[in-house]
Amino acid sequence: MPVVTLYPKSPTELYANWTLVECKTRCPIMQQNIQWKRKRKHYHLEEFLQPNVTEYTINNLQPNKSYKVRVLLATSAGYPEHMIRLPWYTVRMPRSSSDLPRDNVFLIVHLSTCSQRPTEVLVNWTLDASLQKDLANYHVLYNTSTSVWQKELPTTETSLTLTDLVPRTCYGVKVRATYSTGRNSTESYLKTICTLPQPPHILSQHSNTNRIKVNKLR
């Protein structure tokens, strides 16, 4: 079951983000189901998602109310048995926009595979203009379930291609903006991207031709 992180975007909007890194060695994910409900309520709302989704924004919530959220994964065998026992993550929505954390500004990170290569991931990000004063550098952090890497970039860079990755492996990626004035750093939310599988080995045309000629001679 994924670990879910919850961030109120407004008194009525809740951003949920989760990682699938720990699930990469298990059965392939066929579908996901994000569920949410008011605290102490027995019924819940839900949305079914594609296997590679790692974020979702829940709308039309009530300010100053507590909500519970969880994400369930379905494999070819279906959803887990005894779902009622699986844990929920709880968050309280703010009363008003002024009650949002001061640093609760999105550092937008878009991820995509680069040139369809199984060993590369392209990371793009943008930082809100209000957070760019005294910006010192960016740090791109990425990890598997067992290892963590970090790359430092100047403030002029907003794109990085991660290379030498393992094919068909999921990586958690986030970007951190640090400042020269001692101000707290600003981080993006962790996103998960899975590299493509290595394409099947294809014999060269020359090799195939040679084999055909040999067969004809026989």
Residue predicted with more confidence, 76 or 211: 76
- Is 62 within the bounds of a domain? yes
State pTM to two decimals: 0.56
Total domain count for the chain?
2
- Is 177 within the bounds of a domain? yes
- CA 152 to centroid of chain Cα atoms: 20
Integer Cα distance of 174 and 52 in angstroms: 17
Q: Are residues 138 and 189 in the same domain?
A: yes
Report pLDDT for 207: 46
- Structural domain harbouring 29: 4-99
Stretch 198-203: mean pLDDT, rounded?
68
- At residue 203, does pLDDT exceed 60? no
The CA radius of gyration of the chain, in Å to the nearest whole number, is: 22
CB atoms within 10 A of CB 2: 21
pLDDT tens column, 28-58? 888 999 999 998 888 899 999 988 788 889 9
- CA 158 to centroid of chain Cα atoms: 18
Q: Are residues 49 and 134 in the same domain?
A: no
Q: Do the Cβ atoms of 125 and 139 come closer than 8 Å?
A: no
Domain boundary among 51, 75, 99: 99
What letters, b where the CB count within 10 A reaches 16 and e where it falls short, cover 33-62? ebbbbeeeeeeeeeeeeeeebbebebeebe
Q: Are residues 90 and 10 in the same domain?
A: yes
Q: Are residues 55 and 129 in the same domain?
A: no
Report pLDDT for 45: 95
Residues whose CB falls within 8 Å of the CB of residue 174, separated by 6 or more in sequence, listed in order? 109, 140, 141, 142, 187, 188, 189, 190, 191
- Is 9 within the bounds of a domain? yes
Q: Are residues 112 and 91 in the same domain?
A: no
Q: Are residues 23 and 95 in the same domain?
A: yes
Q: Are residues 119 and 188 in the same domain?
A: yes
- At residue 214, does pLDDT exceed 50? no
Bridge partners, residue 18, by sequence: 4
The CATH number covering residue 180 comes to: 2.60.40.10
- Is 125 within the bounds of a domain? yes
Domain boundary among 39, 69, 99: 99
- Is 208 within the bounds of a domain? no
